[in-house]
Amino acid sequence: MKHATTAGPIQHAEESVQKWKENGGRVVGYTCSFLPVEVLNVANVLPARLRGTGVSQADIGDTYFGPYICSYPKCILQRAGSGQFSYLDGVIIVPGCDSMRRLDECWRKAGEDFQDIVPDFFFHFGVPHKAADHSKAWFSSEIERLMKSLEEHFGVSIGEDDLRQAIARYNQGREMLARLNDFRKASVNTLSGEEAFALSVAGNLMPRDEYTRYLGEYMDEVSGRKPGLYNGKTRLMVAGSVSDDLQLIGMAESLGGVVAAENLCFGQRHEGDLIGEDEDPISAMVRHYLDESLCPRMMGGYQTRLQFLKEKIEEMEIDGVIFQNIRFCDLHGSENAIFERDLEAMGIPCVRIEREYGALADTGRLRMRLEAFMERMT
């Protein structure tokens, strides 16, 4: 198996979505990793996480959102208004934050001015901000409401055994990603951060069975590499706001680093731990998506998130942490500052970077910041 570039997995995933659609498959876009994608898998619908990449202007996004808001949902709306999501059979808006909540109303409003940009299946899936008992009951009812809506709209039946099988399919991919992550450890060091992150992003798009096969083929290739391929490089972690672009990781690695871990929701934070397969499937999904979440939108979990970072830093022998947040992202912008304070007090070098979503527009500024950070650790 050959990969000409580190972006190969993402390109392969995008082609897979196209083939799925050409073969008569249904595709539903979604906006946040809190969506229980296993439910869509049972409905024989391909869940494809919406990306705002490739946007060169924001006239549509600015019209409905205004300028002072996170650029991620604005880029998604820009693509929608430009007709780039016309292949979708549905959209599920998940309010991971208030900016993403507004995407629901802005997309619907834009649908009054741009023809055929709002699909017939347009669903708002609510997610609580706490993992309390009453919150879990609400989240369970949201999952059941989603299941009923999918059944009615697409003419399918979603049974308990079907859900268990879907959970097992997704767990298989999660296990393989964890095994691939072992190749990033200092004792092996044969997988770059760009490759690892591209593989994670691809999992948000590809049909799950195909993704699992792809991971297996990739693992066979990586297993044949000589250990220590990235020895001598500064070991980095990248964390913070949503990102599905390889440029920041690539820039850090071009300056003499290797990104050995990330805490990004398009990355392995999105996959998380396995979902229980021998219990009530809805209850198991509720626990996985709420209890195991490492997203700062969840209230009261800072110490858990800090402990996760500390453990990952120790496990992967990280030399320094790059915290990045999209401009106007209050959740990550605020928490990144506290992370930096606490990790620096432990002697772990950190740098905070504010950016816009997508392709790096101000590469000179970011490169200068990263160069100074790398020099600090040498």
**Burial (CB count within 10 angstroms: exposed 0-12, middle 13-18, buried 19+), residue 269:** buried
What pLDDT score was predicted for residue 267? 78
Question: Residue range 146-154: average pLDDT?
Answer: 98
How far is Cα 327 from Cα 337, in angstroms, rounded to an integer?
14
Higher pLDDT: 90 or 356? It is 90
CB 55 within 8 A of CB 49: no
DSSP string, 93-116: E--SSHHHHHHHHHHHHHTTTSTT
Q: Identify the weakest region by mean pLDDT among 28-37, 51-60, 108-117.
A: 51-60
Q: Give residue-wise pLDDT tens across range 159-205.
A: 999 999 999 999 999 999 999 999 999 999 999 999 999 999 999 99
pLDDT surpasses 90 at 100: yes
User: What is the pLDDT averaged over residues 134-155?
Assistant: 97
Mean pLDDT of all residues belonging to the chain: 93
Q: Which of 257, 249, 268, 262 lies closest to 189 in space, CA to CA?
A: 257
Above pLDDT 70, what percent of the chain?
Answer: 97
- 30 has a pLDDT exceeding 60: yes
Query: Would you say residue 1 has pLDDT above 50?
Result: no
pLDDT at residue 354 is higher than 60: yes
Query: Given this model, what pLDDT does residue 234 score?
Result: 97
The C-alpha atoms of residue 18 and residue 241 are separated, in whole angstroms, by 28
pLDDT band at residue 41 under the 50/70/90 scheme: very high
Q: Is beta strand 26-30 parallel, antiparallel or unpaired with respect to 234-240?
A: unpaired
The pLDDT of residue 360: 66
Model confidence pLDDT, tens digit, residues 359-375: 666 788 999 999 999 99
For 80, list phi and psi in degrees, rounded to 5.
-65, -50
Whether pLDDT at 3 is above 50: no
pLDDT band per the 50, 70, 90 thresholds, residue 235: very high
Confidence of residue 5 (pLDDT cuts 50, 70, 90): low
Position 20 pLDDT exceeds 90 = yes
Domains of the chain, with CATH numbers?
26-154 (3.40.50.11890)
Q: Which residues contact 110 (CB under 8 A, 6 or more apart)?
A: 60, 63, 64, 77, 80, 81, 117, 118
Average pLDDT over residues 314-332: 96
**Higher per-residue pLDDT: 143 or 3:** 143
- Count Cβ atoms within 10 A of the Cβ of residue 108 and give its class: 0-12 exposed, 13-18 middle, 19 or more buried: middle
Render pLDDT for 261-293 as a digit per residue (tens, 0 to 9): 999 988 777 666 899 999 999 999 999 999 888
